[in-house]
Amino acid sequence: MNHTERLPRNRTYLMCPPKHFTVEYAINPWMDSTVPVDAVLALKQWEMLRDLLGDLGHQVHVLDAVPGLPDMVYAANGAFSVDGMVYGARFRYAERGAEAEAHREFYALQGWKFAGPQHINEGEGDFAYLPAAYGGMVLAGYGFRTDPAAHAEAQEVLGRPVVSLRLVDPAFYHLDTALAALDDRNVTYYPGAFSPASQRVLAQLFPDAVIADRADAEAFGLNLVSDGRHVILNTEATAMGDKVRAAGYLPVHVDLSELKRGGGSVKCTVAELRH
């Protein structure tokens, strides 16, 4: 399949600028609080990603950053939406807890239906939606951040089947560091991030998946955003870019080196709003 057969679909996204971004605590293996963040560079890189999404024809809403919440730039973690219904986040670590309310307020102002969670979950960090796979399927990660009970809760809220996948490598603590939707029906993933049983589930569900290796995952090459044709991933993930190109997609590289220091890359900074 060539690029002309991979058709993009216009998306609506939510991002939050890194106006207060620092690494002042460590809640994942990528965070090193001893090295100061270049705040000017972080904002510049974020703006380049925001502008790129706009140039590709997508709508980007911007959530105001809140002082004292340095990880708000990772907007994907604040909620998970499907067909106008929002399942809110409840963060594992107290340092990020107040982010959930900022996201809830955004959705309330937008008039979305919102369900507050009873169980710990970190939004699109651990949930991915494929609207054309098996009639509309949610993939959900657990093992480090999201409580598996949140998967059943999300299924009740969203009315979509949820498939639980166990993450086993602390370097890949969120689903979106180990798996990404390339289009509405197919994914790419790094098998070693998942338990053997979850690997078998993924192989059965997605026989045509693009398979990544550990080097791809460590370069945050799976922390990507795709509109079905353009696959946006960071500049370090050159090998991953070659793999998605070979599968018929068009890789677009952006430099998010400063934001990676907080444990996230392209996908972590972009939540998809699914009306």
Contact present, 199 and 166 (Cβ < 8 Å): no
Task: Pull the structure tokens for residue 109.
Answer: 């102002």
Tally Cβ neighbours within 10 Å of residue 2: 6
Active site annotation includes 268: yes
Can you tell me the distance from the alpha carbon of 265 to that of 109, in angstroms, rounded to the nearest whole number?
Answer: 27
Q: How do 225-226 and 137-142 pair as beta strands? A: unpaired
- Among the listed residues 103, 151, 174, 230, the single catalytic one is 174
Query: Which distant-in-sequence residues (6+ apart) come within 8 Å of 6 by Cβ?
Result: 183, 228, 229, 248, 249, 250
- Among the listed residues 103, 151, 230, 268, the single catalytic one is 268
Residue 159 to residues 79, 82, 86, 154, 156, Cα–Cα distance (Å) = 16, 9, 11, 8, 6
Can you tell me the distance from the alpha carbon of 72 to that of 169, in angstroms, rounded to the nearest whole number?
Answer: 24
Catalytic site positions: 174, 268
